[in-house]
Chain A
């Protein structure tokens, strides 16, 4: 063990905390999402039915939360896994974090673009 390589990893609490917070958001929103798409609406998913559902502001909110929280949760989760095995040094971990933020924000923008017609 090199003491330096331990100390150089500052922080981590916020990432950890947000992983939990997003998890709680996800479990609520995902439940709603799944029930409506896979039970209520099974076999009946199309551009129009989705459009109808999304006409409710509530559903739009759920989907946007799903998108944002999901993206953070997924990419931070991915980061944790990668840092356990391949991105162990401080430099690599930092690079990974930056790349994942870029990917995440891009995904978010793209996702919102996809939902835009219903949002506006």
Chain B
């Protein structure tokens, strides 16, 4: 039996009496392993039914449970409390907060409306001009390899929440949406010409990225959005100077 304290940032903006953020401590006993998500369920079941958080797959593939745990962006379901800084201490404490710099819905749930609006805005789908062949669109393994990194994005929002350019400017598209744009522009099957380009090739798009690299640091999937964004900047230049993106 092990014991651990969860220090959870609670806030219910709807609550007229207490709309402010405050921290609350909960003691959790467990055996073997404990992920932060399991800890939150424990609190929800044993102590406080009002605790709100997102969850779904509990296997780090859906991107629901992104939070700010012990001062870092993490997926709650992927974070074993044994791996946190406080692990060795006799009276371990884990702090759990919502992702900072995003509007709050309740407790650990952030408002992702803008995040997905920007995702949609970037036209995240394959654009084809020529008619489809009868069978598959051929793609060499080499071209396919270029997609390996960007297609692993689970749209968790960590990068978006961590980017200082987003904090300063609500209309900046942000790393996740730009990574999506990259994912399609770099795809050998994509035939978008100016369609998508006009959406990211501007000062609310790629040029707002100052290569701050917080996004890379924050991504729980270890992706590198900056790599994609920088590729897009070069692609824009290639297009203007040589008339082609890829």
Contact = CB atoms under 8 A, between A and B. Distances in A.
Interface of A: 1-3, 5-7, 9-13, 15-17, 80, 83-85, 88, 93
Nearest to A86: B168
24 contacts: A1-B114, A1-B170, A2-B171, A5-B171, A6-B121, A6-B173, A7-B202, A9-B203, A10-B198, A10-B202, A11-B201, A11-B203, A12-B202, A12-B203, A13-B236, A16-B233, A80-B210, A83-B169, A83-B203, A84-B165, A84-B168, A84-B169, A88-B169, A93-B203
Contacts of A6: 121, 171, 173, 199, 202, 204-205
B203 A1 contact: no
Given A10-B202, A13-B236, A1 B168 contact: no
Given A1-B170, A7-B202, A12-B205, 15 more contacts: A1-B114, A1-B121, A3-B121, A5-B204, A6-B199, A7-B199, A9-B202, A10-B198, A10-B202, A11-B202, A12-B203, A13-B201, A15-B203, A84-B169, A85-B168
Contacts of B205: 6, 12
Interface of B: 114, 117-118, 121, 165, 168-171, 173, 198-199, 201-205, 207-208, 210, 233, 236-237, 240
Contacts of B207: 12-13, 15-16
Nearest to B117: A1
A49 to B, nearest CB: 40
B114 A12 contact: no
A1 B103 CA distance: 13
The 7 A-B pairs at the shortest CB distance, nearest first, are namely A12-B203, A12-B207, A84-B168, A6-B204, A9-B203, A9-B202, A9-B204
A17 B117 CA distance: 29
Nearest to A83: B203
Nearest to B208: A84
Tell me what chain A mostly uses at the interface: helix, strand, loop, or mixed. helix
Tell me what chain B mostly uses at the interface: helix, strand, loop, or mixed. helix
B201 to A, nearest CB: 6
Contacts of B237: 13, 17
A45 to B, nearest CB: 35
Contacts of B202: 6-7, 9-12
A9 B169 CA distance: 13
Nearest to A80: B210
Contacts of B169: 83-85, 88
Contacts of B240: 13
Contacts of A80: 210
A1 B201 contact: no
A84 B163 CA distance: 12
Which among A2, A10, A12 has the greatest number of chain B C-beta atoms within 10 A? A12
Given A1-B114, A17-B237, A12 B168 contact: no
A7 B203 CA distance: 9
A6 B170 CA distance: 10
Contacts of B198: 7, 10
Contacts of B236: 13
A84 B201 CA distance: 17
Contacts of A85: 168-169
